[in-house]
Amino acid sequence: MQQAWRLSELAGRLGGHWREGADPLVTGAASLADAGPGDLSFVAGPERLAEALASAAGAFLVPAGLDLDRPSIVVDRPYEAFARFLALRLPDPDRLYPPGVHATAVIHPEAEVAAGSVGPYCVVGAGARIGAGCRLGPHVTVGCDAVLGRDCVIHAQVTIREGCLLGDRVIVHAGTVVGADGFGYLAGPNGQVKIPQVGIVEVQDDVELGALVTIDRATTGRTVIGAGSKLDNQVHVAHNVRIGRHCALSAQTGIAGSCTLGNGVITGGQVGIADHLEVGDGARIGAQAGVIKDVPARAAMFGYPALDFQESFRITAALRRLPAALARLRALENRGRGPAGAAGPEQGK
């Protein structure tokens, strides 16, 4: 059942100051454009004031000094406070993942499963260890000797292959595969010969993996996802890649084998990074960029091949002017030829 709060109560929960006066009952959350009378919304800054005045929201989170004569809570960072309010509205995890082991789960006698939730039709292999407070959704497979730390949430139909390591508080969304074989083959006289992939994947603390992410095990050693990093849906990480701490990789980013990404790297959607490259700390790579050489720390890259974003934008702007430039060039050439059938100035000498 959905909980409701008085605005004055929410002020304490969200670390803000209630502007005394109207104290509406808050039952939902929405953007300024979509909010109704029972919803809490937020105003990021003065530039959104007109939109707030036109909104039907019943209450607002606002920064200090904003002149909005509507029921509101003053907070330092309205968007962050709104995110905390959304967290209050999350479903009860015990309702989603009831504590205990479901009767249909198959857990090997040599596995160690601490108190938590193991959902319907889960399979936990020999030697696997699952830490306290973990929640496994339906049809999750944890392979032999895989290890999950404490308080992980593994949503439905995730596969964590043999030997792979997950740290504490890791979240893995539906359909993701951690530890599939890397794409390693050697061309021979009879076709492609498979190179055994005997390494593992290490996913460190506080990582979140979106739906249908695929992370390949290393050929030898480890493929590593650094602590606090977030991978969007359908990201692919190939064998022996090492991703640093607190990176954010948008949907359909693909990283080829043996790349190294530093800390705080951000990629837009559909970025492709060729194999054996290094991307420095804090680099930003724009959507659909194709990275074919190393990227310096704190660089901002865009385009294909990926270039410094200012250079890439100059090239793009020049390309847009190219048809007009060609037309002017043809006009100059025609003027140099003179009237049809007549010799131009040089030809008449």
User: CA-based angle 33:39:45, to the nearest 5?
Assistant: 55
d(CA 229, CA 267) in angstroms, rounded, equals 12
d(CA 205, CA 346) in angstroms, rounded, equals 76
d(CA 142, CA 161) in angstroms, rounded, equals 6
Among residues 85, 52, 44, 81, the alpha carbon closest in space to that of 69 is found at: 52
- Of 155, 173, 236, 239, the active-site residue reads 239
Find out whether 236 and 251 touch, Cβ atoms under 8 Å.
no
Give the count of beta carbons closer than 10 Å to the beta carbon of residue 319. 9
DSSP 201-239: EEE-TT-EE-TT-EEEPPSSSEEEE-TT-EE-TT-EE-T
239 part of the active site? yes
By annotation, the residues acting in catalysis are 239
